[in-house]
A and B are shown apart, each in its own frame.
Chain A
Amino acid sequence: MRRAFPRIWPNVWVRDDEGGRLDMSQRVALFVTCMVDQLFPKIGLAMVEVLERLGFRIDFPEAQTCCGQPAFNSGYPEEARAVARHFLDVFEASEAIVVPSGSCTAMIIHHFAELFEKDPTALARVKQLSERVWEFSQFLTVVAGAGDVGAHLEDVATFHDGCHALRELGIQSAARRLLRHVRGLELREMEPAGECCGFGGTFSVKFAELSGAMARTKIEAIVRTGANIVVSLDPSCLMQIQGVLSRAGLKIRGLHLAEVLASR
């Protein structure tokens, strides 16, 4: 006798021309993060381009703002909780939420639980939701089963591991695998790739000189590779790295993984 399993995903969608994808809805909601929304919309557009190319249908819940990380990291848990609640409200109905930032993803799937430690009702919502939140490269490799997304870029790139993508989400080789599939792109490792760029949110302005010194050490590692592009999963790292590169008069470009994968 066949057992009926409870349906978790309302619109199970299987593409039969490719076996790589997990069986789940083709609808994804974007959480573009406040930083991409306000400062780097082209990263959001690139993400849309790549996801659509892979056949996903995209929602953009317009009430979205921020995940609350700036307040949380700065020691304002009350403020962070309020913003986190807003996030929970906005994305409650979304089946899969894709985020172009390792640190915002880590905030949602790890630190929301810390924020609501003493609130069982909210904690249950957090648990439900955080299982549906994906960092962009993770979504591509784990859910979409993607390797080659049809990108083409003739250049030399190096990859910077964002601290939270690397240490809180454990993303290391997946992002590189996607880059290696980009036609024409040569990937060179910087040494060390996993050391902080020095951004750290309000740290970057509270300890500006120190943050700048950390970034300059990062820049040296980037320059040593001879790459023209530095790729990251985090817009905030890119803002820091690009800002210091530009100040140093260097022509190296900072690109989000989505931007590289969108190029053809």
Chain B
Amino acid sequence: MAGAFERKIHETLADTRLQQAVYTATGRLKDSRLAVIAPHVLPDYQELRAHAHLLKRHTVDHLDHYLEKFQRNVESRGGQVVFCNDGAEVTDFVLALAKKRGARLIVKSKSMTTEEVDLNEHLEHHGLESVETDLGEYILQLAHERPYHIVAPALHKTRYDVAEILTRRLNAPHETKIEKQTAIARAVLRQKFLAADIGISGANFLVADSGAVVLVENEGNARLATTLPKIHIVVAGIEKVIPRAQDLAVFLKLLARSATGQLLSVYTSFLSGPRRAGEIDGPDEFYVLLLDNGRTKLLPDSAKRQSLYCIRCGACLNACPVYRKIGGHSFPWVYSGPIGAILTPQFMGVSREPSLPFASSLCGACAEVCPVKIDIPRVLVELRADVHQSEARQKRNRLEKLAFRLFRWLMQHPRAYEWAGRLAASLANSADGGWMRRVPVLLNVGPVRAWLSQRDLPPPPSRSFRQLWRQR
């Protein structure tokens, strides 16, 4: 009864070229991070993480306060803040504005939040052209794929894949050198930047005390997309707000290091409002769309609320032995890896992919690298319980529930536990000859069968420890 999730996992595991590409690329990001957080390079790294965690905790606990403050400060600089409940409200706003201004061409800088609401698809459906300008995102847009990784969207593409895509979609010469490929994309994108009516960006941070939107990037495309067109629209999740500009000293230090192993990203832009008299660049109109899309649903639960601390650095993906095997496209939604595994069920509901929270060995590698110290394994375990509750309502998966009820009873009754253990062992031993692989039919079902599909089982001992202890 494998669902789409299980099927994609199977396909990805079988694709040796992809396995190699993803494992190598994530390994490189992982090593780069390690090099710049090493104690002799950043002695106060652990303290910075604790600091960032506390700042996020405070802000998310007082989200309404800081969002209002941010709104006031944006408006005092001539910008406008719009609260959007869901993706439809974002799309409607952009469409209405485009219609009013007669806009046709939109340039976008990389934003997971717009991916989350499928903004490009909706805009194109209504006859607008929306072009991604981050190189990786642009390549994926040409290939009609969604991001594979929240920081490195085209992580799974080799330069040969890229050459293929550029030739097929742009009729460009077949170039396998990365610099040449960049030049091809740049030539197309320059024209788009110059002709665009609207620029849309995400936000890395929204600074409440100044009303600034902070964008971090390496290619300069976000700076162009937000300053060349006459209209700039920011689409950001409500959890992106931070209290003060000074807090950036903590977050910026952690973000680039955790994401790409850089000390600082190449460009850090502070955008606050439309161009004022005397300024040489900047848009005429400046809007910030603050997206909820399920986020406020997380606020009541004190343990799960920490999922909103995420600064989208992607470090947990690179560290995750599961992500490194199953890649980004196996995940049911735009967010992949450990953070995707906790955001998807919470934003979209657990029934979107009930087995997602279970696709983890709870190894804790994610929590270890997370710069804001989100206890991802803990949230996963709580989501597993949520899945069981929703299944119970639908009367599904009853055998497992029964099994755990039996487990509970046995583990409270040592005699019964011992007896059951010995019974299982003698059944297993009744297989004549070697035990390995030749488990008696009776036991070779369900979990045992699944176990044996990958590995051998140890032969059961003839006596349990407690029996041996008694004989001492």
Contact = CB atoms under 8 A, between A and B. Distances in A.
Given A198-B361, A210-B359, A75 B450 contact: no
Contacts of A70: 407
Interface string B364-406: 1101100000000010011111111000000000000100110
B433 to A, nearest CB: 16
B455 A65 contact: no
A44 B404 contact: no
B412 A45 contact: no
B461 A72 contact: no
Given A167-B367, A239-B458, A247-B454, A114 B421 contact: no
B465 A209 contact: no
Interface string A198-218: 111111111111111111010
A101 interface: no
A116 interface: no
Contacts, number: 185
Given A167-B363, A210-B325, A213-B325, A34 B404 contact: no
A89 to B, nearest CB: 9
A242 B454 CA distance: 12
Contacts of B425: 38
A148 interface: no
Interface string A74-86: 1111110011001
A217 B364 CA distance: 18
Contacts of A77: 385
B455 A247 contact: yes
Interface stretch (A10-18, A56-64, A176-184, A222-230): A56-64
Contacts of A76: 385, 388, 401, 404, 408
A69 B451 CA distance: 19
A39 interface: yes
B429 interface: no
Contact of B455 (A72, A196, A244): A244
A66 B456 contact: no
A7 B181 CA distance: 74
Interface string B311-354: 00000000001100110000000000000000000000000000
B321 A195 contact: yes
Interface in A35-73: 36-42, 44-45, 60, 62-66, 68, 70-73
A244 B381 contact: no
Contacts of A167: 363-365, 367-368
A145 interface: no
B187 interface: no
A63 B388 CA distance: 30
A129 to B, nearest CB: 17
Contacts of B401: 76
Contacts of B321: 195-196, 198, 214, 217
Given A37-B466, A64-B414, A68-B411, A196 B365 contact: yes
B224 to A, nearest CB: 40
Contacts of A201: 361-362
How big is the A interface, by class? 35 or more
Nearest to A103: B362
A163 B376 CA distance: 14
A3 B467 CA distance: 48
Contacts of B411: 34, 65-66, 68, 82-83, 86
A210 B360 CA distance: 10
A263 interface: no
B461 A41 contact: yes
A207 B365 CA distance: 18
A242 B455 CA distance: 8
Given A71-B404, A205-B450, A210 B465 contact: no
Contacts of B387: 75
Contacts of B463: 41
A202 B367 CA distance: 20
A65 B361 contact: no
A214 B421 contact: no
26 contacts: A34-B411, A36-B465, A37-B421, A44-B468, A44-B469, A45-B465, A45-B468, A62-B466, A72-B381, A75-B382, A75-B387, A82-B411, A86-B411, A114-B378, A163-B361, A167-B368, A198-B321, A203-B358, A203-B359, A209-B10, A209-B453, A210-B359, A212-B455, A240-B455, A243-B457, A244-B454
Closest 3 CB pairs of A and B: A75-B384, A200-B361, A212-B454
Interface of B: 6, 9-10, 13, 321-322, 325-326, 355, 357-365, 367-368, 378, 381-388, 401, 404-405, 407-408, 410-412, 414, 417, 421, 424-425, 436, 446-447, 450-451, 453-458, 460-461, 463-469
Interface of A: 32, 34, 36-42, 44-45, 60, 62-66, 68, 70-79, 82-83, 86, 114, 163-164, 167-168, 194-196, 198-215, 217, 239-240, 242-244, 246-247
Given A82-B412, A163-B364, A214-B322, 16 more contacts: A37-B464, A38-B424, A38-B460, A60-B469, A62-B466, A63-B414, A65-B411, A71-B404, A75-B357, A75-B383, A75-B388, A200-B361, A201-B361, A209-B10, A210-B322, A247-B456
